[in-house]
Copies of this chain bind each other. A is one copy, B any other.
Amino acid sequence: MSVRVGILGATGAVGQRFIQLLDDHPTFELAAVTASASSVGKPYREAAKWRVDTAIPDDVADMEVRATDPEAIADANVDLLFSSLPSGVATEVEPAFLQEGYVVSSNSSNDRMAPDVPLTIPEINPEHLGLIDVQRDERGWDGALVKNPNCSTITMVPTLAALDSFGLESVHVSTLQAVSGAGYSGVTSMEIIDNAIPHIGGEEEKMETESRKLLGAFDGAGIELHDADVVASCNRIPTLDGHLENVFAALSEDPSPAEVRAAMRDLPSADLHSSPDQLIKVFDDENPDRPQPRLDRTYAGGMGVVAGGVQTTYEGVAYNCLAHNTIRGAAGASVLNGELLVKEGYV
């Protein structure tokens, strides 16, 4: 079975990752790419300044860039849209596609906390997809909007889900985030060489709120947020890709490091093409200096999470985790949500 897909905002950094990940995808066939007005009508190879480390697929290189509105893609017969629009643009444009009945798997940060929008990681909370029915009722559209979380959130939440069996009570987390998380021009070299920046605008709040939604319970009408307090401090450091995070979790139970590692390793995978066989790779005590961004960010093609350094503390555990921020943390997350939407019959 083949599903025809389109990418809204296909020329940017995340858009390029979409194209890379969709190349040779067994189910998805890329049929339309959109971008802003200055690119419309150009072949993709001219419109995009391609910077991904594999070549532009030949068929995409010649594809004509369309405008980002439903009419412009009407003849492409697309069943599923991936969105990597800037959130300001997405707020205005995504509803138009949803009104036309499109299913949209979006990486844009708008509406992630909207009560009727599922925010999903397929291995963690696939049942939240049920919110789509609520959404259709409330919004009165035939389409379906699904969001994936922010890159720093998605790195941590699978490990928290594993801990939840031990009674997760609260979380403190410090992040060491790669510059690619801010987009190609987001961090200048003069800002970050021989330096670190202990603040990323809005990031801390995203981690604190999105985590509780992802770990929350769907009761058929809405999501009850998980009641764990989450406190985040976010830092930018001079790495290219891969967000590393130090997590301190308070637990009601008292598991050993070995039990924590086992819980992380045993987290079930999703039966989807882009989901790794083992979602979380966990380093033991003999490798206390792992995960490291450059060595571990490509685990499972960048779709896995890597953890390590598990220690018990006076109130629970401390450990480190890492994921590739532009694959598992952005385009790959949306593609995986797209696979879930197909599997669950929404496409």
Contacts and interface: CB of A to CB of B under 8 A. Distances in A.
Interface of A: 51, 53, 170, 172, 174, 176, 179-180, 184-199, 201, 229, 231, 233, 235, 237-240, 244, 246, 248, 288-295, 298, 308-309, 313-315, 318, 320
A298 to B, nearest CB: 7
A238 B291 contact: no
9 contacts: A51-B295, A53-B298, A176-B176, A176-B198, A187-B190, A189-B238, A194-B293, A195-B239, A198-B292
Copies in the complex: 4
Contacts of A184: 188, 190
Given A176-B176, A229-B313, 20 more contacts: A172-B248, A174-B174, A176-B235, A176-B237, A179-B189, A179-B190, A186-B188, A187-B188, A190-B240, A192-B193, A193-B194, A193-B240, A194-B194, A195-B239, A197-B292, A198-B320, A229-B314, A233-B318, A235-B246, A238-B238
A334 to B, nearest CB: 21
A45 B320 CA distance: 25
A237 to B, nearest CB: 5
Contacts of A233: 174, 246, 248, 309, 318, 320
B180 A190 contact: yes
Residue in A191, A244, A315 whose Cβ sees the most chain B Cβ within 10 Å = A191
